[in-house]
Amino acid sequence: MDLAALRKEYGLKGLYESDAHPDPVQQFRVWMQAALDAQLPEPNAMTLCTVDADGAPDGRIVLLKNVDEHGFAFFTNHESDKGRQLAAQPRAGLVFCWLELERQVRIRGTAHKLAAAEAHAYFQQRPRTAQLGAWASPQSRVIPDRAFLEARLEEETARYADEPVVPMPPHWGGYRVHPDVVEFWQGRPSRLHDRLRYRRHARTWTLERLAP
């Protein structure tokens, strides 16, 4: 396995200031739509980076479920590692990587819990099996084995067997990352990639180019 020998020359597109939308959220929408149009697998998958109790970075893949002028929203168990970490330190980083388009987006900002009504509305859109899984899984906790988890799911399935609607667990909900910094990366030849960074100043954004 010779990882050092792996090489790929990028050159599908360029990214120029003249083509970039003045609002990074709108620019993100343009790139997300391109990823959707290209039928990429899981285009809304993003790395969520938080900080643990020791000050160490902690990352995992979650799914973006909404983006609007207020930020980037995802849903999870508030009692999971990421939920506890965001409660203690709400600063968060997001990374999207669309290799087929030679693109990456990095976002830094502050995470806020979504209102219960918004989380509930999304929870009711989820498949029933996923709703039951939210009740069954003590997310991020140590469990004895797979059988324990499957038994919990059976219990929750029986518990709500006669209920037309599975209620949202009190420990489940969503977060919205309100961005302060958004960087768009486009692969270019000779490793001279395009990097455009937006930085928030009050209600306005400053756009600047970074060296690759």
The pLDDT of residue 7 is 87
Q: Domains of the chain by range and CATH? A: 3-124+168-209 (2.30.110.10), 128-167 (no CATH)
List, in order, residues 6 or more apart from 42 with CB less than 8 Å away: 63
Q: What is the token pair recorded at 37?
A: 């149009």
Three-class secondary structure of residue 14 per DSSP: coil
The pLDDT of residue 18 is 96
Contact predicate 185/193, CB 8 Å:
yes
What is the per-residue pLDDT across 150-175, written as a single tens digit (0 to 9) for each?
999 999 999 999 999 999 999 999 99
Side chain identity at residue 169, one-letter code: P
Q: Check residue 51 and report its DSSP letter.
A: E
The pLDDT of residue 203 is 87
User: What are the φ and ψ backbone dihedral angles of 10, each rounded to 5 degrees?
Assistant: -95, 150
pTM for the full predicted model: 0.94
The pLDDT of residue 202 is 87
Rounded CA-CA distance 100/121 in Å is: 33
Active-site residue, from 7, 146, 191, 203: 191
Q: Is 159 a catalytic residue?
A: no
What is the per-residue pLDDT across 96-106, written as a single tens digit (0 to 9) for each?
999 999 999 99
Neighbours of 104 (CB within 10 A): 18
List, in order, residues 6 or more apart from 157 with CB less than 8 Å away: 132
Q: Check residue 109 and report its DSSP letter.
A: E
Residues in the chain where the model's pLDDT stays below 70: none
